[in-house]
Structure 1
Amino acid sequence: MKQRIVGRKAGWLAALAVPGVLALAAPAMAAVTGTLEEGRLSVGSDLTYPPYAYLDQSQPAGFDPEFMKGLGEHLKLQTEFRDTRFANLVMGVNARRFDVVASALYVTPERARQVDFLPYLKSGASLLVRSDDDFRPQRAEDLCGKRVASIKGGSWIPRLLEVSRDYCVAQGKPAIQSREFPTSPEAAQALLAKAVDVQFENAAVARITAEKLQGRLQIASRELIYPVVIGLAVRKGNGELLDGLRQGFEAMKQDGEYQALLQRYNLAEPTAADVAQALGN
């Protein structure tokens, strides 16, 4: 599912917050209701997270912007991206700052109690290390006593803390030291600066991070850690918008647009079993 992203260039480490970046979509399907503003679909996305969402020459790029632009076209909505740091996305959609979150947001039972999800991707995590370090962790249990960098709000952080408590400390080993950063590039910079020992990162993001940094960092883990389902998120109870998004998603599947995006980004669609497991069912 993960790995190489073709034809994507971005000012990765220099990605800046640019609120209200607009991307217009051409109509192709009946408009839906449930949006904050008629005729517009406002999308909360952390545009510092390639290959899912980032800025390329001040314009939203990556899988999520492409997917949402296509969705907007099918729904006759003008799509507007609002650059928002990851840790504030769920709060933002519930505070009605935007209609939907599209930002590699993992589906978890905890988040499903706060928002309603439309699952649309499956991913997982990898461990990044410095190439000049001989530390090569393969799983979370290998991180006892290590300083671990993550993007702030990453869904794997509670699981890391559980491993720290139930595995590391329980066996008399040092605890995992979790360090959170506002963006993935900042976590990578901390790793390069030797302020942390390893970066726990989404697998696709880890791959492009290693490529952008030209081998200074590398992926140590050989298997996906904590496979996850990614979903669009809307305000709890906003069934009108959720139904509309689902309708547009099905239209993208029918015309092959969705499958083409998956192939270009080397990603996968979650199965019903994947979704049920992600929700704890």
Structure 2
Amino acid sequence: MSCIGRLSPMGVRLAYTRIEPGDAMKRSFIVTIAIALGLIVGCGSGTESGASRPPAVIPPPEQLILPGTLTIAADFQGPPFDYYEGTEPRGFDVEFDRAVADLMGLKVKLVDGRFASLVTGLEAGRYDAVISVLYITAERAKKIDLVPYAQTGSGFLVKKNGAFQPRRPEDLCGHTVAVLAGGFEEQLITTGELGKQCRDTSKPLKAKSFPSDVEATRDVADGRSEAFFSNHSIVLHRAKQVASFGLTTSNASPLYPVPAGIGVRKDRPDVRRAFESAVEHLHKSGELKKLLDKYGLEPPDPELVQKALAGNT
């Protein structure tokens, strides 16, 4: 999102804009706020402003897209990690982003993009980092550097009273499943072990890829897909939101435990080092654990990180 403020005798006019790849001005939220002389106005969910920032606890990156500002991209259609509550960004990643920016003594600008194009946008230099619960995989690590900061897993969203109630990944064999385009679960089915396992048993698994979990959830609700196979926390959140539509989760605990990483460009080791220092500081202070616990996540397991980077998930 970006934020534009215009000062007038009556107050400040703020425009909040969601930015998506190829669509710079897709949706705006305009609000007029009357202010008294000397009041500082901040944009909050766009580039967060103010008279001053906390002094840097760790050295910030040497160069940034916007001086003094950490530009971070995420898919804001992925609650509880990244989403909007009205015009305000919310979620695990948003809280993490702000904590990291504070440690670096920087403002933060949040850019909303679709998941499948986030890495491409990072490689093109549109933002300093991607923080959108990117699963650490060997394939993804060939394109960008990944700094571990959380650990999650996969789950199923299905019709509550439907005949299909998968508990294990292999239960998906022979069925039609919705997944997020570019996500870990899509890879498991199309080129990974799960897809191979289903083909070997003569029960091929059909994956339908969607740009957001909203559309994937709708496909299950409409009966076109039999399950939505995605991040466990996303599935749990969606199940609560759409309970009135008769959807629920069918697995009790996360499947395929996998670490998530902060995506940075390979030619920006200064950015990688800054995020590594920030994660270490938040871990030692206990702030990271509090945040992970709040959203039902775990700290990354170093052994799992190494296995993921080696392609042994």
TM-score normalised by the chain length of structure 1: 0.88
The aligned amino acid for 1:94 is E
The aligned amino acid for 2:282 is M
CA distance in 2, matches of 1:165, 1:128: 19
Aligned partner of residue 102 in structure 1, secondary structure: strand
Q: Which residue of 1 aligns with 2:64?
A: 35
Q: Which residue of 2 aligns with 1:147?
A: 176
The aligned amino acid for 1:116 is D
User: How far 1:79 sits from its partner (Å)?
Assistant: 0.5
Structure 2 residue aligned with 1:110, among 110, 129, 139? Answer: 139
Aligned partner of residue 18 in structure 1, secondary structure: strand
CA distance in 2, matches of 1:248, 1:74: 7
User: How far 1:169 sits from its partner (Å)?
Assistant: 2.8
Identity of counterpart residues, as a percentage?
Answer: 30
1:1-281 maps to which residues of 2 (within 5 A)? Answer: 18-19=18-19, 21-24=45-48, 26-29=53-56, 30-161=59-190, 162-163=192-193, 166-173=196-203, 175-214=204-243, 216-280=246-310
Equivalent pairs, count:
264
Q: Indicate the RMSD between aligned Cα atoms, in angstroms.
A: 1.8
The aligned amino acid for 2:295 is Y
Q: Is the 8 A contact 2:210 2:216 kept in 1?
A: yes
CA distance in 1, matches of 2:134, 2:154: 13
CA distance in 1, matches of 2:153, 2:302: 17
Q: Which residue of 2 aligns with 1:7?
A: none
User: How far 1:190 sits from its partner (Å)?
Assistant: 0.6
CA distance in 2, matches of 1:165, 1:195: 20
Q: Which segment is superposed worse, 110-119 or 214-223?
A: 214-223
User: How far 1:277 sits from its partner (Å)?
Assistant: 1.3
Q: Is the 8 A contact 1:141 1:163 kept in 2?
A: no
Q: Normalized per residue, which structure has more strand?
A: 2
Q: Is the 8 A contact 2:74 2:110 kept in 1?
A: yes
Q: Is the 8 A contact 2:180 2:186 kept in 1?
A: no
User: How far 1:156 sits from its partner (Å)?
Assistant: 2.1
Change (3 A) 1:167 1:32: closer
Aligned partner of residue 32 in structure 1, secondary structure: coil
TM-score normalised by the chain length of structure 2: 0.80
Q: Which segment is superposed worse, 239-248 or 194-203?
A: 239-248
User: How far 1:263 sits from its partner (Å)?
Assistant: 2.0
Q: Is the 8 A contact 1:33 1:244 kept in 2?
A: no
Change (3 A) 1:120 1:207: same
Which runs of 5 or more residues in structure 1 are unaligned?
1-16
Q: Which segment is superposed worse, 207-216 or 66-75?
A: 207-216
CA distance in 2, matches of 1:124, 1:91: 24
User: How far 1:45 sits from its partner (Å)?
Assistant: 0.4
Q: Is the 8 A contact 1:126 1:224 kept in 2?
A: yes
Structure with higher Rg: it is: 2
CA distance in 2, matches of 1:134, 1:250: 46
User: How far 1:248 sits from its partner (Å)?
Assistant: 2.0
CA distance in 1, matches of 2:183, 2:105: 33
User: How far 1:164 sits from its partner (Å)?
Assistant: 6.1
Q: Is the 8 A contact 2:178 2:207 kept in 1?
A: yes
Change (3 A) 1:87 1:227: same
> Alpha-carbon deviations, 1:21-45, whole Å to 9, x = none?
5152733314331322221110010
Q: Is the 8 A contact 2:47 2:108 kept in 1?
A: yes
> Alpha-carbon deviations, 1:6-34, whole Å to 9, x = none?
xxxxxxxxxxx812951527333143313
The aligned amino acid for 1:28 is P
Q: Which residue of 1 aligns with 2:30?
A: none
> Alpha-carbon deviations, 1:38-71, whole Å to 9, x = none?
2111001000100000111212110001000110
Q: Is the 8 A contact 2:135 2:259 kept in 1?
A: yes
The aligned amino acid for 2:279 is F
